[in-house]
Amino acid sequence: MGEMGMNITEKILARASGRDEVHPGEIIEVNVDLAMSHDGTSPPTIKTFKKIAERVWDPDKIVIVFDHNLPANNIGSAEFQKITREFAREQGIKSIFTHGEGICHQVLPEKGFIKPGTVVVGADSHTCTYGAFGAFATGMGAADLAVIYATGKTWLMVPEAYKINVNGTLRPYVTAKDVILNVIGKIGSYGATYKSLEFSGETIDLMDVSSRMTICNMAVESGAKNGIIEPNKAVLDYFKERDVGSYEVLRSDKDYQYQSEYLFEISDLEPQIACPHNVDNVFPVSKVEGADIDQAFIGSCTNGRLEDLRMAAKVLEGKQVHPDVRLIVVPASVQIYQDAMKEGIMDTFINAGAIICNPGCGPCLGAHMGVLGADEVCISTTNRNFVGRMGDPQSEVYLANPAVVAYSAIKGEIGYPGE
């Protein structure tokens, strides 16, 4: 078997399971380097944990972030946060972020918790975001995470791998979000179920950290177990800025045989829109323009970063949000919020008539700050548009990049800069 070579995901999993090599389909037990839960998933994790153990395996390898309903918006969320704070205190978990520091998937890399070559498991499906840093990162349910909290280990099947090659230069106002929507539109919502999606090609090589995070963030929307990108200079510089040391960058063997390879040529790509009610229901914006909207949302673990806010502000500069539209902006972290303030981006949003909310998940999950009523339509920079995702089951959500969302907010209907 040795001459088969291994891809980056297999190399990480081999190391984490103490083996020389692993191959697709094998069931392995791995040591988890970092485990994460948030205010929504911590209490169910804690409940199961208490049935199986008294102490967590290593309080320094657990990170808890309050981001889904912060500040608490009802008694239930307040209770959840109280339970979680008490648990962290009694277990000696120091890395708990309860003061609105931002969205878990932004806070963890930003504060230096994520390293390449490691195994990260979170009780949140978009944990796959950390693949942008060359880590194996995947989401699991609360029961699985409870076992990790107790033992530091989990079992998984080594996934088969798809290689997604992306080549070409993106046009103005076309972004990593459009690339990944295009990929999901082609592969389908279930087209990569339990696969490892490895992204490469000249377009990906040149992408900054923010863009890579957007791509890996949405890998799960095709059913993938993980999304991953080999680190480039931008990623290594990101680690350096945060004093993240002692790691080894792993790369896929050149001769590795992927289960499937896809090639995306994106030089002519126009902005992409995922139409209701599925992330793979993707069309070029020119086919969707003119659809009326009630709400526009810029934020989330997909597109709430500085680069996203900057792009939206460029479109909104000197313009007004349409009187029939509410534009909600939620920075992905406090750091991003402060940087955006320094650049005058927040003034641009406020002057245009946007509502700015504190860092966190905001309207994305239909539970906090910006819930949709029946028959309302939202265009959003988030990652999911299932029935009822952002509120009433009769509402509709379109997914797009920040420039398209900002432009649509001005027009009162879906449109795009440069149309």
| Spans of all domains in the chain | 2-263, 272-411
Contact by Cβ (8 Å): 367, 76: no
Per-residue pLDDT of the chain (419 residues; tens, 9 = 90+): 445 799 999 999 999 999 999 999 999 999 999 999 999 999 999 999 999 999 999 999 999 999 999 999 999 999 999 999 999 999 999 999 999 999 999 999 999 999 999 999 999 999 999 999 999 999 999 999 999 999 999 999 999 999 999 999 999 999 999 999 999 999 999 999 999 999 999 999 999 999 999 999 999 999 999 999 999 999 999 999 999 989 999 999 999 999 999 999 999 999 999 999 999 999 999 999 999 999 999 999 999 999 999 999 999 999 999 999 999 999 999 999 999 999 999 999 999 999 999 999 998 888 889 999 999 999 999 999 988 898 899 999 999 999 999 999 999 999 999 75
Distance CA 357, CA 105 (A): 18
Assign domain 272-411 to its CATH superfamily.
Aconitase, domain 3 (3.30.499.10)
User: Which DSSP letter does residue 244 get?
Assistant: -
Distance CA 382, CA 416 (A): 17
SS (H, E, C) 23-40: CCCCEEEEECCEEEEECC
CATH number of the domain located at residue range(s) 2-263 in this protein: 3.30.499.10
Q: Phi then psi for 333, rounded to 5 degrees? A: -155, 165
Domains 2-263 and 272-411 fall in the same CATH topology: yes
- Does this model's pTM top 0.85? yes
Contact by Cβ (8 Å): 61, 35: yes
